[in-house]
Amino acid sequence: MSILRLSEDSGSEEVLPFATMVHELLSLPVTMRSKNKKGVRLENGKIVDKNYTGPVLEEALSKNCVIHKTPDRGAYKGIPVVVTPIYDNDGKAIAAVGVVDVVSTIDLASVFGNYPQIVRQVEERKSSY
């Protein structure tokens, strides 16, 4: 039986399966590290760095909250990112995972202008099952 474990002392190899899952799910650049060890950076289906940290990952870990911002330094300088902590059972941040925040760069009004039509299409398909 395989077991994946994540702790505040997880290294690159231990956070990699979690970061890969997020990267494959969203098809976005992903960074991840534990509280006490550097982690990974993935882009375009490849591991770019196995000794990675970034200012927003570190901020999310220290503040124990989700951070939306455009970093002023690091690999994603000038690019909006969103980073969330991963909490233990006591609500303490043990790791953080971040992605490029493409939502902040999209004109949501134009994207969701078609939302009612999409919902209608989904509902119509559901009723035909």
Provide the pLDDT confidence category of residue 113 given band limits of 50, 70 and 90.
low
Per-residue b or e along 105-117, where b marks 16 or more CB atoms closer than 10 Å to that residue's CB: eeeeeeeeeeeee
Angle at 103 between CA 107 and CA 55, to 5 degrees: 135
Lookup result for tokens 């494959």? 24
pLDDT tens-digit profile of 25-71? 999 999 999 999 999 999 999 999 999 999 999 999 999 999 999 99
Lookup result for tokens 């989904």? 122
Q: Which architecture characterizes domain 12-127 according to CATH? A: 2-Layer Sandwich (3.30)
Number of Cβ within 10 Å of residue 78's Cβ equals: 9
Distance CA 85, CA 89 (A): 13
pTM for this one? Answer: 0.81
Q: Which amino acid is at 12?
A: S
Percent of the chain with pLDDT over 90: 74
Query: How high does pLDDT run on average in the chain?
Result: 90
